[in-house]
Amino acid sequence: MHKTIHQYYLYLITNKKNGVLYIGITNDLERRMYEHKNKLIKGFSFKYNLDKLMYFETYQYINDAIKREKNMKKWKREWKIKLIETDNIDWADLSHDWFDK
């Protein structure tokens, strides 16, 4: 019997370096970033033009991703910035070349 392995992502997006931060989870990070970049979801990320992927984590189980998201939403802003800058010091959009212009 073949068992499908699912992946879930916790991600942080922004509009610019040291800008507004949004934490979300999804089961398809590429599709979700396409939605953010093309303003397909009307909400917080739309309102603040958040479409640059700064950081993400991968999880096998949705409950682990949800737990991490809830925990990180309680974090101080400085902690989130430090997390981003651990691997992305220049605040480069990690999804900048995922889609054709």
Domain spans in the chain, listed from the N-terminal domain onward: 8-87
Q: Model-level pTM?
A: 0.91
Residue 1 has pLDDT above 70, yes or no: no
Instruction: Characterise 24 by phi-psi region: left (phi > 0), alpha (psi -120 to 50), beta (else).
Output: beta
C-alpha–C-alpha distance, residues 96 and 62, integer Å: 26
Q: Supply the pLDDT for residue 5.
A: 73
Q: Which amino acid appears at position 85 of this protein?
A: E
CATH number of 8-87: 3.40.1440.10
User: For 30-78, how does the pLDDT look when each residue is reduced to its tens digit (9 = 90+)?
Assistant: 999 999 999 998 999 999 999 999 999 999 999 999 999 999 999 999 9
